[in-house]
């Protein structure tokens, strides 16, 4: 059973470009969470999605960031017009149920904005 798969592992974008980060949850998991980790800091919650629904986006910046989890295919975290401050590691986690279950993390996508 493959774990949570994120790609790409490393992504370099110039300021003003768009970044698309993909996350395929573990088989059987319908709940996905995105986190951001700045260097030498803990992970910060961004958004919680179920298939075709955003459940909690309280950690998402108000502008330029969006997330989706379509009925088919991976969850996508999209960052428009990237700035240097967006450089970070972005982690996706998945769980089979929203409540009372452990979330499993992927290996992350390291975004570098130059």
Nearer Cβ to other proteins, position 79 or 89?
A: 89
In angstroms, the CA 86 to CA 93 distance is 19
In angstroms, the CA 25 to CA 40 distance is 26
Cα dihedral: 65, 99, 3, 7 (round 10): 0
Of residues 79, 88, 103, 111, which one binds other proteins by CB under 8 A?
103
The beta-strand segments (E) located in 43-87 are 43-50, 53-56, 65-68, 75-79
Q: Binding string to other proteins for residues 64 to 93, with x set by CB under 8 A, is what?
A: ---------------------------x-x
Of residues 20, 68, 76, 105, which one binds other proteins by CB under 8 A?
105
Q: Which residues of the shown chain bind other proteins in the complex (CB under 8 A)?
A: 4, 31, 33, 35, 40-45, 48, 55-56, 91, 93-95, 98-108
């Amino acid at each position: 059973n493959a774990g949570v798969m994120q790609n790409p592992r490393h992504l370099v974008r110039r300021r003003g470009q768009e970044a698309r980060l993909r996350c395929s949850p573990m088989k059987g998991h319908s709940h996905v969470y995105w986190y951001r980790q700045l260097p030498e800091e803990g992970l910060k919650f961004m958004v919680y999605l179920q298939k075709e629904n955003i459940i909690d986006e309280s950690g998402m910046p108000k502008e330029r960031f969006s997330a989706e989890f379509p009925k088919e295919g991976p969850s996508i975290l999209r960052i428009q017009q990237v700035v240097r401050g967006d450089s970070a590691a972005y982690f996706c986690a998945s769980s089979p149920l929203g409540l009372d279950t452990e979330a499993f993390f992927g290996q992350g996508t390291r975004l570098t904005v130059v």
